[in-house]
Structure 1
């Protein structure tokens, strides 16, 4: 899986890294501003669902900030213990924020279509990350890296969601119409692109053997 390792050397990877870290930092704007002002589209969860809300918005940015560094081959080679421990924190952050996100999905105000989109995102996010962790524990490194890419694609949904949400607001789209679409658009293309990439890598491997 050398090609997966080489992702860390691409300009696209570094753009994704910078974007992920910036979005993770900006996600904590609810601390100085409050949820009502900083994240008004989820503020309705403060009434009766605050624990899940803060578990998600407080912990998910940790996973987002750590995610790109899991693919840096230099870090893995020079500081393997750091790679392992940051990976464990990444998995733990997704366990907490994914379960919280699954609960939040059933409290969306924009209908069943949005609920299904966000619930599936949380469920598959937990599943792909759990698979990556399982294969790491049992030292099946190639499988671990493939499942980590799948997990990362869904973690990056935090970025694509904000891109689509900001774009829809700038275009004056009706939130009640745009948000259910975004609940799927923020992660399905990411997941599809990763699967296409993995199939391409596999086909190249078959050609050279």
Structure 2
């Protein structure tokens, strides 16, 4: 009975996630289309005329990031891990590759082009890229070394980092619905914008670390166990 209820909850949560993900994916596909057009620089500030490397980095960042966000929730579904272990491992390898590409592309783009929000946003987004890239490397390292506990710790960190782009937009959507955009400016210079530069990934990493520390102190097994 418990497993049945747990399965239903998982399905409902995944359905809700993918429902909220649709606008994000539509936006990503639209940006990819703009990036492939001949007048991309005229349609979006993310692209610039004759900036081949920067434009290519942004295209890779958007493309790999969108697929990463769409696939990463499947990695934490216990039923998939236990019944389809080969799929779980194969998907893990794909997600690591996507995270590495997403993080590296962002770290290339920011120094070359900067961000619309200025130095604070540039520093925050570059730091996010470093965290994403590092977490992906550590997940791979722990998996290859057979360290299941370390693999799950870094896997949880990577999970929340992988959702960063979606969380960033979700925060803004909820904030605008609740406040109408209070303390947010078109150039991302408002108080809310400045907080958001870090709020889409730092608090989640802190929460994961606290959770890990609590579990470790209680001498319990990881919440998401390997099969």
TM over 0.5: yes
1:131 shift after superposition: 0.5
Looking at structure 2, the residues matched to 20 and 133 of structure 1 have their Cα atoms a distance apart, in angstroms, of 29
| Aligned alpha-carbon RMSD (Å) | 3.1
- What's 1:3 paired with? none
- 2:142 counterpart of 1:142: no
Looking at structure 1, the residues matched to 142 and 100 of structure 2 have their Cα atoms a distance apart, in angstroms, of 16
Contact 1:53 1:104 in 2 (8 A): yes
Looking at structure 1, the residues matched to 136 and 122 of structure 2 have their Cα atoms a distance apart, in angstroms, of 21
Looking at structure 2, the residues matched to 13 and 146 of structure 1 have their Cα atoms a distance apart, in angstroms, of 22
1:110 shift after superposition: 2.2
- What's 1:193 paired with? 207
Contact 1:20 1:64 in 2 (8 A): no
Bigger helix share: 1
- 2:131 counterpart of 1:131: no
Q: Which protein has the larger Cα radius of gyration, Structure 1 or Structure 2?
A: 2
Query: Aligned with 2:160: secondary structure?
Result: helix
- What's 2:64 paired with? 59
Looking at structure 2, the residues matched to 10 and 199 of structure 1 have their Cα atoms a distance apart, in angstroms, of 25
- What's 2:106 paired with? 101
Looking at structure 1, the residues matched to 13 and 76 of structure 2 have their Cα atoms a distance apart, in angstroms, of 9
Q: What residue ranges of structure 1 are gaps of 5+ in the alignment?
A: 1-5
1:89 shift after superposition: 0.7
> How does the TM-score come out when normalised to structure 1?
0.80
Instruction: Count matched residues.
Output: 199
- What's 1:120 paired with? 127
